[in-house]
Structure 1
Amino acid sequence: MTTQISANNVKELRNKTGAGMMDCKKALQESEGNMEIAIETLRKKGLASADKKSTRIAAEGIIESYIHIGSRIGVLIELNCETDFVARRIEFRKLAKDLAMQIAACQNVSYLSTADIPKELIDRESRIELAKEDIFNKPSKIKDQIIKGRLEKRLKEMSLMNQAFIKNPDITIEDLIKQHIALLGENIKISRFQKFLLGEMMEK
């Protein structure tokens, strides 16, 4: 016997997940009316399709700002989506604010992803690791493994997408964006960001 689902429950689930009405109704029926299980089911399906959406053009969006307490750190970020409708959604705007706060909190973050880090900088970091005294007497193969591991860690520290989300360290920023792609049904991407530190351009 099919579980009867009220229109109010379907609407509530749609508001929480952004999924279509029929998908919400089906998820609630499959979970026998359990809202949490239905949300988990829809989000799993959404995350599976997030990668497909990530290639679509995202030309709408917003520019968000964040000024940290004390007004010594500021961030500007451009977050894009596919439609003006999603750009106005409170979930999208909250995501932009969270991302700006994340950038302000991460001292070493300068690039969106490790793929954006210039080769010259990667080569410099490799030379620094190679010159460290603690690996001088290591066998060549071991030395290469140590340098590779340290370099990967260093590059991830500089990449926003690899950071643990400050409000939920169990997920990365990349995971956070994919969750919102699933929630809002559109491609979402960070086009650019800039961090401002008070006095950083001045000689002291």
Structure 2
Amino acid sequence: MAISASLVKELRDKTGAGMMDCKKALEESNGDFEKAIEFLRKKGAAVAAKRAEKSTNEGIISTRIFNNGKSAAIVEVNCETDFVANSSDFLEFSNFVLNTIVDKLPATIDELLSLSYQNKKVEEELNSLIGKIGEKIQVSRFAIENTENGQVVDYVHHGSKLGVLIRVDNVPSNSNEELQSLLKDIAMQVAAMKPFYVYREEVPKEVIEKEIEIYKEVSRKEGKPEQVLDKIAQGKLNKYYQENCLYEQAFIKDNTKTVGQLIEEYNKKNSSQVKLIRFKRFHISDENK
């Protein structure tokens, strides 16, 4: 049957798919508008399956503070090329995913994909976008952070390839701009210095044992006496803590002080007990997600 240009345009406006794809969908569906939409969605799923093995090393990190600063969300949505990562369709989808997370508070990626926001199902919107763009797109990870007596601060580095959440507890109700500024600085610290832990007490025992073993072996090969290996290893372990534990890292804006000292100075000045609890650091190039 002949498909009118106006019907093709209506389907394009509804789905965002290309004109030729819309025309073909209507032809395959004998002009049935709803079946044409289903056809386009299936096309998106087919493209997704076809490109399943493709790598998605581009994308964006998005964050949102909500619940009066007591909650925050961070999400990574990936694609194959930077060109797509900067497209309006991809950015709109990423924002849609973030809105869904904030509104529905899912626990897993599978749950997130099964949810709907403003009558749009995440998985269907994803497949529709894949069909339209022709690239593999995926929501690779997200996190939600909450605190009852503190606050969460976010930071997204220019280009949206790197994002951070910082959670602190024991924040007084009359907290000031000084604390906000300090927490923003600490979030930037996490972005720049890539710590793995907040405190040395969080470092797993097996990691410590492995580090000590490496330090001792290196010292042996350098000809150091066996009786001093433990002392050397302990010194190097302290250096490991200083490099990898946020609380002990030298502050990037003033390397005469540690992040921990800045928190302690703030607490002393304001008679408070603000405590760093956790951070989330999402970077597009992270290998272990």
**TM more than 0.5:** yes
Paired amino acid for 1:97: K
Does the aligned pair in 2 maintain the 1:65–1:100 contact within 8 Å? yes
Instruction: Give the alignment partner of residue 121 of structure 1, picking from 207, 214, 221.
Output: 207
Task: Structure 1 unaligned segments of length 5 or more: list them.
Answer: 1-57
- How far did residue 112 of structure 1 move? 0.9
| Most deviating of 187-196 and 126-135 | 126-135
Residue of structure 1 equivalent to 2:263: 177
- 1:70 is matched with 159
Task: Measure the CA separation in 2 of the matches of 1:112 and 1:70.
Answer: 26
Q: 1:28-177 to 2 correspondence within 5 Å? A: 59-86=148-175, 89-107=176-194, 109-132=195-218, 135=221, 137-177=223-263
| SS in structure 2 of the partner of residue 85 of structure 1 | coil
Instruction: Provide the rounded CA distance (Å) in 2 between the counterparts of 1:123 and 1:195.
Output: 25
Of structures 1 and 2, the larger Rg is shown by 2
Q: Is the 8 A contact 1:114 1:155 kept in 2?
A: yes
Taking structure 1 as the reference length, the TM-score comes to 0.63
CA distance in 1, matches of 2:288, 2:271: 44
CA shift for structure 1 position 59: 4.9
Where relative contact order (Cα < 8 A, 6+ residues apart) is larger, the structure is 1
Q: Name the SS of the counterpart of 1:97 in structure 2.
A: helix
Q: Which residue of 1 aligns with 2:140?
A: none
1:199 equivalent to 2:288? Answer no
Q: Give the C-alpha shift of residue 60 in structure 1.
A: 2.0
Contact 2:165 2:187 in 1 (8 A): yes
**Deviation of 1:177 (Å):** 0.4
Task: Note if contact 2:241-2:248 (Cα within 8 Å) is conserved in structure 1.
Answer: no
- Cα separation, 2, equivalents of 1:169 and 1:106: 12
Aligned-residue Cα RMSD (Å) equals 2.2
Report the Cα distance in structure 2 between the residues aligned to 1:190 and 1:70, rounded to whole angstroms. Answer: 27
Distance in 2 of aligned mates of 1:92 and 1:126: 37
Shift of 1:97: 0.6
Q: CA deviation at 1:123?
A: 0.7
Q: Percent identity, aligned pairs only?
A: 32
Structure 2 vs 1, CA of residues 136 and 170 (structure 1 numbering), >3 Å: closer, same or farther?
A: closer
- Per-residue deviation, 1:137: 2.8
Unaligned stretches of 5+ residues in structure 2: 1-146
Q: Could you tell me the TM-score, scaled by structure 2's length?
A: 0.46
Is the strand fraction higher in 1 or 2?
2
- Give the partner amino acid of 2:182: L
